[in-house]
Structure 1
Amino acid sequence: MATADSVAGRTAEDAAPTREGRRPHSGRRPRRSSTRFLLAPLSFIAIAVVLFALFFVWPGALGLWYSFTDYTGVGTPDFIGLDNYVDLAQDPDFYYSLGRTLLYTVLSVPLHFVAALGIAVLLTSTLAKGKEAARVIFFLPWLISPIVAGVIWKWLFGENFGMVNFLIEAVGGKGLNWETDGSLALLLILIVSTWGGTAFNMLLFIAAIRNIPQSYLEAAQLDGASSWQRFYRIVLPLLRPTSFMVILLATIGSMKEFAMVQALNGGGPGTSNMFIVQYIYRTGFERADIGYASAASMVLMVILIVIALIQLRFDKRNDLA
């Protein structure tokens, strides 16, 4: 049994300060309030939620409400139920603009993908010269406003005053009908959209290619694989997540193409290249039928969601395989 003197000695030792002038740690940490650790992230999240609700949720909810009304931009909208959607299902112009948009998307997405990937491979090659200057040149189109880009290319490809037709006629050829031929007008839209949309996708591919371990490529080279085999068997499979992202973004962007086409040819000649967003714009602002245009916007939103879900499901299936 411990004596009273020994107990008193241990009590005095525990009470004595240490060499650093502090009392020994008792082993229990002071309780801190969790509020201090939650305020900072909650404040940032709150700002993002407010902005998202203000600029996305509220306009979307308002557009959904307008799609069930006969709102014309002025006055009080009257609820008409599904009448706008019924009329939309019977509108041939809607189906034509939607079909033209799908055709443009099917043609433009592969062009964007191939152009961006090809330029990224060239700019990451050890044999390429002047890569820094080339990177800036290829990135400049992305900095130009789509409306400005449309105006520039409209002047270049004008039938009567464009530089392209001038050069064709200078070498003895005949100028092309870039403005009055629907197929050539669509080709011009594809050229301009690929020119302007390649830069961002190029950066994604450059970052992904640089993250590929060089040991894989060096081992394949030692085994006798050619440059094409290394690219097809190693680089391309490892770029699958980035490729999926590029295809998804390019698809959604092509389905929503508006500003560049509006400045380039306004969906012409006539309505031969009127995409779905041009159709919504003309219906809502030129015909002052906001309710009907809102219904078309809701249909477009559903189509984009379905496309995104299909691509996500396809990508997930490939990962599981």
Structure 2
Amino acid sequence: MAVTTARTERRRRGRVAAAFLLPAFVLFVLFFVAPAGLGLAYSFTDYRGYGVPEFVGLANYLDLFSDSTFYRSLWRTVLYTAVSVPFGYFVTLLISALLVSRETKGSALAQVIFFFPWLISPIVTGVVWRWMFGENFGLINYLVSSAGLSPLQWASDPNLALVVVILAGSWGGTAFSMLLFMAAMRNIPASYLEAASLDGAGPVTRFVRVVWPLLRPTSFLVILLGTIGAMKEFAMIQALNGGGPGTSNVLIVQYIYKTGFEQSKIGYASAASMVLMVILLVIALIQTRFDRSDLS
């Protein structure tokens, strides 16, 4: 009798769990699985957004892998990710440590200020930074000129334009990573820090030897999400400089957008999207593997 009751209870709980998971599953299928399947199907066709698509096999992928523009956009995306993710990680980690510290004055106001970028869209972020770093009208060049220096070519120099993109992207992603780090730091038992203080460790030593190692799971999440977000960056860069000057800073998602919507090569752009998806999956798997090996 007791076994039957236990089985009935497990089945009931399973049905309740399935009922709660069903909406998420339906949304996942509608907005991820179905578009991904449609994009995969289009990648083997010459679809241009109108008419009946014709099957072309691997022609889109062969053309893609021989396209120098694709490789340039992919390289620029890798460079942007390799610089922006570590930079954003350490800046956010430092800000979070300062805001959590009891010795910091005005931390509540500072949290609101650093949280503000999360409240605005990436497009607004791009517009704000575009006005700040305008060559002829920007605030930064005004301050540089006021100091008696020559204005910098923020929009016409490819490397300086990439620097602005990295700064804007890091500024926009600070809030979410900051929340993760601050929550993790506040969950660290105070006894660990007290024991380190009794051993004579200063604030910096306590952070490096005690706090930072305990933030490894959070660090992994921040780096993983930051890497995927940087590889998919589009709206902010489009509003900031459109991938300019020229096409020097066109990232992979902008390349897909320009190819698919401006040149009406939906099939070709779908092939590029599939390649990007594979790259993101590989990155996620590699990072997960390294994280598991560190924990074991």
TM-score bracket for this pair, using the shorter chain length: over 0.9
**Cα–Cα, structure 1 residues 171 and 84, in superposed 2: closer, same or farther, change >3 Å?**
same
How far off is 1:29 after superposition? Answer: 10
CA distances 1:38-85 after superposition (whole Å, capped 9, x unpaired) = 443222211111110000000000000000000000011111000000
How far off is 1:33 after superposition? Answer: 5.4
Give the match for residue 66 of structure 1: 42
Q: What is the CA–CA distance in structure 2 between the aligned matches of 1:231 and 1:95, rounded to whole Å?
A: 41
Give the match for residue 190 of structure 2: 214
Aligned structure 1 segments of 4 or more residues deviating by more than 6 angstroms: 27-30
Q: CA RMSD in A?
A: 1.6
**Cα–Cα, structure 1 residues 30 and 215, in superposed 2: closer, same or farther, change >3 Å?**
closer
- Larger Rg over CA atoms: 1
Give the match for residue 276 of structure 1: 252
**Cα–Cα, structure 1 residues 28 and 64, in superposed 2: closer, same or farther, change >3 Å?**
closer
Query: Which amino acid is 1:72 matched to?
Result: R
Q: Superposed, which structure 2 residues align to 1:104-115 within 5 Å? A: 104-115=80-91
Q: Superposed, which structure 2 residues align to 1:1-321 within 5 Å? A: 36-320=12-296
Q: What is the CA–CA distance in structure 2 between the aligned matches of 1:271 and 1:318, rounded to whole Å?
A: 40
Uncovered stretches (5+) of structure 2, i.e. residues with no partner:
none
How far off is 1:166 after superposition? Answer: 1.7
**Cα–Cα, structure 1 residues 197 and 30, in superposed 2: closer, same or farther, change >3 Å?**
closer
Query: Which amino acid is 2:29 matched to?
Result: A
Q: Which moved more, 1:150-159 or 1:167-176?
A: 167-176
How far off is 1:37 after superposition? Answer: 4.0
Q: Which moved more, 1:155-164 or 1:131-140?
A: 155-164
How far off is 1:226 after superposition? Answer: 2.0
**Cα–Cα, structure 1 residues 28 and 81, in superposed 2: closer, same or farther, change >3 Å?**
closer
CA distances 1:267-319 after superposition (whole Å, capped 9, x unpaired) = 00000000000100000000000000000000000000001111011111111
Query: Which amino acid is 2:175 matched to?
Result: A
Q: What is the CA–CA distance in structure 2 between the aligned matches of 1:264 and 1:200, rounded to whole Å?
A: 21
Uncovered stretches (5+) of structure 1, i.e. residues with no partner:
1-26
How far off is 1:28 after superposition? Answer: 7.6
How far off is 1:30 after superposition? Answer: 9.3
Q: What is the CA–CA distance in structure 2 between the aligned matches of 1:313 and 1:262, rounded to whole Å?
A: 33
**Cα–Cα, structure 1 residues 30 and 299, in superposed 2: closer, same or farther, change >3 Å?**
closer
How far off is 1:36 after superposition? Answer: 4.7
**Cα–Cα, structure 1 residues 215 and 58, in superposed 2: closer, same or farther, change >3 Å?**
same
Query: Which amino acid is 1:177 matched to?
Result: Q
Q: What is the TM-score with the length of structure 1 in the denominator?
A: 0.89
Matched residue count: 294
**Cα–Cα, structure 1 residues 37 and 223, in superposed 2: closer, same or farther, change >3 Å?**
closer
How far off is 1:258 after superposition? Answer: 0.4
Query: Which amino acid is 1:69 matched to?
Result: T
How far off is 1:155 after superposition? Answer: 1.2
Query: Which amino acid is 1:151 matched to?
Result: V
Q: What is the TM-score with the length of structure 2 in the denominator?
A: 0.96
How far off is 1:170 after superposition? Answer: 2.1
Q: What is the CA–CA distance in structure 1 between the aligned matches of 2:274 and 2:13, rounded to whole Å?
A: 41
**Cα–Cα, structure 1 residues 206 and 28, in superposed 2: closer, same or farther, change >3 Å?**
closer
How far off is 1:152 after superposition? Answer: 1.3
> If each structure's helix is expressed as a fraction of its own residues, which one has the higher value?
2
Q: Which moved more, 1:156-165 or 1:28-37?
A: 28-37
How far off is 1:236 after superposition? Answer: 0.9
